[in-house]
């Protein structure tokens, strides 16, 4: 029987994945309904989510320091917790990048990226829901594949959009801005795939 003060690491992973989903939806909504005048307010909301994720990670790490027998290896818990925190950081960075560059309109490529990020975050959340029962789960492998597939679509989209910029964009300032924005958005997908890879590694070591 679990003690009252026991820390559930799988609950932590699920809560963090849920926060990532909320951040991805905030990014998508802010881009789809872009308003230059209110974008900073949306960015500030994102930063609150990122700070909450930091605080949750610190609490998890503090608990892990005194944990006698964690459910999986400590190094894996730390690595996965850090990577989930990285996803929140990159989502925050993506919004801050658009704000700092003072963009006045959103390009269609950014909309496509944000849709992929939203789907990838949802797939990662579903993966995390299965993670606590990874030894018996019938769906976790297909969810891991889904995350990897969405990241691969992001790679292809990044290549397409980058070439499009260098072929058609004559304004150097816009070339720099959108090259960096697209790189930040792709990084969100890269971090999701990295988290999925860590989960896959844990499964291989424990089954």
Q: Does any domain span residue 2? A: no
How much is the pLDDT for 5? 56
In which domain, by residue range, is 79 found?
Answer: 9-206
Q: Classify burial at 43, counting beta carbons within 10 Å of its beta carbon; exposed 0-12, middle 13-18, buried 19 or more.
A: buried
Q: Does any domain span residue 57? A: yes
Instruction: Encode burial over 173-205: b for 16+ CB neighbours within 10 A, e otherwise.
Output: eeeebbeebbebbbbbbbbbbbbbebbbebbee
How much is the pLDDT for 4? 46
Q: Does any domain span residue 116? A: yes
Q: Is 80 within 8 Å of 195 (Cβ atoms)?
A: yes
Q: Does any domain span residue 97? A: yes
The whole-angstrom separation of Cα 108 and Cα 66 is 49
**Which of 144, 147, 86, 155 has its CA nearest to residue 119?**
147
Taking the chain, what is the end-to-end CA distance rounded to the nearest angstrom?
Answer: 24
What are the respective helix, strand and coil percentages of the chain, to the nearest 5?
80, 0, 20
How much is the pLDDT for 67? 87
Q: The CATH number of the domain where 86 resides is what?
A: 1.20.58.220
Q: Does any domain span residue 194? A: yes
Say how many domains are in the chain: 1
Q: Does any domain span residue 3? A: no
On average, the pLDDT of the chain sits at 94
Q: Does any domain span residue 1? A: no
Q: Does any domain span residue 174? A: yes
pLDDT of residue 172 exceeding 80, the answer is yes
Instruction: Please give the model's pTM, rounded to 2 decimal places.
Output: 0.93
Percentage of residues in the chain with pLDDT exceeding 90? 91
Q: What is the mean pLDDT of residues 131-143?
A: 92
């Amino acid at each position: 029987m679990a003690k009252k003060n026991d820390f559930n690491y799988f609950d932590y992973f699920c809560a963090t994945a849920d926060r990532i989903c909320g951040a991805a939806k905030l990014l998508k909504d802010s881009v789809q309904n872009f308003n230059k005048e209110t974008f900073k307010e949306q960015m500030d909301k994102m930063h609150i989510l990122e700070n909450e994720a930091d605080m949750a990670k610190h609490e998890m790490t503090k608990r892990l320091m005194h944990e006698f027998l964690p459910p999986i290896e400590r190094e894996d818990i730390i690595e996965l917790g850090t990577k989930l925190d990285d996803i929140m950081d990159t989502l925050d960075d993506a919004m801050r990048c658009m704000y700092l560059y003072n963009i006045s309109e959103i390009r269609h490529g950014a909309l496509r990226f944000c849709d992929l990020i939203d789907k990838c975050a949802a797939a990662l959340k579903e993966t995390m829901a299965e993670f606590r029962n990874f030894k018996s789960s019938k769906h976790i492998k297909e969810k891991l594949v889904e995350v990897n597939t969405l990241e691969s679509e992001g790679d292809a989209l990044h290549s397409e959009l980058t070439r499009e910029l260098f072929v058609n964009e004559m304004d150097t300032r816009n070339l720099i801005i959108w090259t960096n924005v697209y790189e930040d958005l792709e990084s969100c997908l890269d971090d999701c795939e990295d988290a999925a890879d860590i989960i896959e590694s844990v499964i291989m070591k424990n089954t």
